[in-house]
Homo-oligomer: A and B are copies of this chain.
Amino acid sequence: MRVELLTVGDELLLGDTVNGNAAWLGRRLADHGVEVTRSVVVGDDLDEIVEAVTEALDRADAVITTGGLGPTSDDLTRDALAKAAGVAVVRHPDLERRLRERAAAAGRELRPTALRMADVPEGAGLLANSAGSAPGLRVELPGGTVYALPGVPSEMRTIMEEVVLPELAGARGPAPTARRILRTAGLWESELAEALAPVEALDGVALAYLPAPAEVRIRVAAAPDRLDDVERRVRALLGPGAVYGVDDETLDRVVHRLLAERSATVAAAESLTGGLIGAELSRMPGASETFVGGMVTYSTALKEKALGVPADLLARHGAVHPDVAAAMASGVRERLGATYGVAVTGVAGPDPQDGRPVGTVYAGVAGPERPPLVIAPRLPVPGDGARAREAIRAMTVVHALELLRRVLLDLPAQPGADPGGGRAREDREV
């Protein structure tokens, strides 16, 4: 079964919006064993939509469209589907009644334009929308089925989960391959690829490397009954602890789990990241069980005043120094009464600071039993100033959380020896 996606909206072509709907749809369809073979974006133009839908059904069995179902004059998907089907657009009495009821319940008058949401191509099926006003539409064309969904992500997702995915999953056969994501932090794509060459060479196994700041997710695809074995091989080749999580098990979730298993808590002291580590450690529901809070000591003076970093240390070396990271980690741990303190200091740029170049970063972890551990991950500094700044801050968060994970698991502070020469040579335990 081949499915194509068609996203409608000028804002996507103009780049005002990133196409998150297409990514979500691709992921959820893959989860259900349905293959997306093409994804197309067209603007708010009737003929473009008609043409794109018709072409897509020449290639695929079904098309899922998002967008263009709202009440305004640039919402053209229902007209385009009627044109493609050669039918009229008719007002649906049930929908009109429901729209009037919803407006009345909210104490609002129904605006005339809103009634457009009660119009449907003649003969279209309605896809119930428990998250909003207008339903999705199912339109049968000669080449196959069109599922038309709203562009609002919450409504689109609701209709997919409740109506479309069950319907498509019923129509497809058993999934031929299964996929699993193995997550790593602090390792480079090239060294992973080199280390995993023996797995890549296996028949019927496909690996893909999905990079994110300071992380690489390895997507393993194989027959369902081989997946566990492939995962074991990957873990063995990468060495102990290199894979920190599987599928949706993000680094913050792993850290929270490890802390909870030890009845431990953590506090964060941040400089260049400005609060991103705390934001990450508070992302998960229930984070307050293990995350106490943090200090953002963005100014150098605050590092002394709020965290007790020795003034002579700051005077001698400036704020970007491994001993400062260690003192920040110890300081926040003690002052906020947490089992562990995690701290970062560094230069996000665009200008050097205290004589240190952009990309110099120190991450430290202080715990109950041994002196603070500090690493100096060398970060690639991509592109221009503003982009580099954003990337450096994001990579710093990952290196700090990965160091905390390694301390909690008693692993070496840095991931395994370099098999391919690709590792940053300046990575070290300070």
Contact surface of A with B, Cβ cutoff 8 Å: 10-20, 22-30, 36-43, 48, 52, 55, 72, 74, 107-109, 131, 154, 157-158, 179, 181, 193, 208, 210, 217, 219, 268, 270, 272-283, 285, 287-288, 291-299, 302, 305-306, 335-337, 349-351, 382-383, 385-387, 389-390, 393, 421-422
Contacts and interface: CB of A to CB of B under 8 A. Distances in A.
B19 A36 contact: no
A386 B14 contact: no
A37 B26 contact: no
Contacts of A11: 208, 210, 219
Contact of A40 (B38, B302, B386): B38
B390 A208 contact: no
A357 to B, nearest CB: 15
A26 B13 contact: yes
A293 B306 contact: yes
Contact of A41 (B38, B109, B273): B38
Contacts of A37: 13, 42-43, 48
10 contacts: A10-B208, A13-B36, A14-B179, A17-B210, A74-B208, A274-B279, A279-B393, A282-B296, A292-B298, A293-B296
A260 B118 CA distance: 51
A280 to B, nearest CB: 8
A48 B10 CA distance: 25
Contacts of A13: 26, 36-39
A40 B25 CA distance: 15
Contact of A278 (B19, B154, B275, B349): B275
